[in-house]
Amino acid sequence: MAVTACQGLGFVVSLIGIAGVIAATCMDQWSTQDLYNNPVTAVFNYQGLWRSCVRESSGFTECRGYFTLLGLPAMLHAERALMVVGIVLGAIGLLVSIFALKCIRIGNMEDSAKANMTLTSGIMFIISGICAIAGVSVFANMLVTNFWMSTANMYTGMGGMVQTVQTRYTFGSALFVGWVAGGLTLIGGVMMCVACRGLAPEETNYKTVSYHASGHNVAYKPGGFKASTGFGSNTKNKKIYDGGARTEDEVQSHPSKYDYV
């Protein structure tokens, strides 16, 4: 029961995480205009991975896509690739995990196959979450670098007087959605990997007792009974009686008194 609950909970958490990664990738608020020390507030700019938008004070919003590939920064292409790879791996992991759920029976699928599928989907979820977190973190690092460079260029001259006004961008809501979604996907993948251990069939160890057929070389001793299992030479069979060892030839060559009765 605990394994089924862990697997189901991991699937739901991963599903929410993948949905959040898709939403963060499609959102336009990856970077928003910093309004601190900005005298112009009639226009508000924000940018995403795929287009940039301008919102006026009247409520009118105009967005324009990036119609070029070579003119974009290389870091932006890397962030796009990380997010797309995370979405693709997450979608494949969801498809595999659906068939791996213990509550769903498909034909005569064994528990070992379900355990392998659960482990595979868990690894895919972990990689997907790492890709999403890495993509968002790289974009955030780029924003921080550009923000402080713009701040340094704004304050020039003696006394720190503001000579120029530049548009600075800060963290948008899509970054926080991406961080949370990537973390949920990563947690869901770990839960699926943990549930895999419970789904795997346990190896049963049976205590075996070896049986050896007794041979014809039987020895008797006063201290107890000992049976040998080896098959030796058939020429002389040894028997031991009451501490003295005599062969069959010696017994026949020296008749006892009982032979004349």
Q: What percent of the chain has pLDDT over 70?
A: 67
Chain-wide mean pLDDT for the chain? 76
Instruction: For the chain, give every domain's residue range.
Output: 1-30+70-153+166-199
Candidates 68, 67, 83; CA nearest to 136 is 83
**For residue range 23-79, what is the model confidence (pLDDT) as tens digits?**
999 998 999 888 776 666 778 888 889 998 988 888 788 888 888 888 888 888 999
Give the pLDDT confidence score for residue 33 in this predicted structure.
85
**Sorting pLDDT into bands at 50, 70 and 90, what band is 80?**
very high
Q: What's the distance, CA 202 to chain centroid? A: 21
The better pLDDT of the pair 106, 144 is held by 144
Name the one residue in this structure whose structure tokens are 């961008």.
169
Residue 87 has pLDDT above 70, yes or no: yes
Residue 131 has pLDDT above 80, yes or no: yes
Direct distance between the N- and C-terminal alpha carbons of the chain, in angstroms, rounded to an integer: 82
Q: Is this structure's pTM higher than 0.75?
A: no
Mean pLDDT of 89-105: 88
**CATH fold of 1-30+70-153+166-199:** Butyryl-CoA Dehydrogenase, subunit A; domain 3 (1.20.140)
Mean pLDDT of 189-207: 72
**Sorting pLDDT into bands at 50, 70 and 90, what band is 12?**
very high
Q: What percent of the chain has pLDDT over 90?
A: 33
Give the pLDDT confidence score for residue 5 in this predicted structure.
86
* E strand segments, 57-104: 61-65
Whether 237 and 42 have beta carbons less than 8 Å apart is answered as no
Give the pLDDT confidence score for residue 154 in this predicted structure.
58
Give the pLDDT confidence score for residue 74 in this predicted structure.
87
Whether 234 and 227 have beta carbons less than 8 Å apart is answered as no
Using alpha carbons only, give the angle 14, 119, 19 rounded to the nearest 5 degrees.
15
The better pLDDT of the pair 111, 231 is held by 111
Candidates 23, 20, 37; CA nearest to 188 is 20
**Sorting pLDDT into bands at 50, 70 and 90, what band is 214?**
low
The better pLDDT of the pair 38, 94 is held by 94
Distances (CA, A) of 231 to 120, 236, 237, 245: 55, 12, 10, 19
Residue 216 has pLDDT above 80, yes or no: no
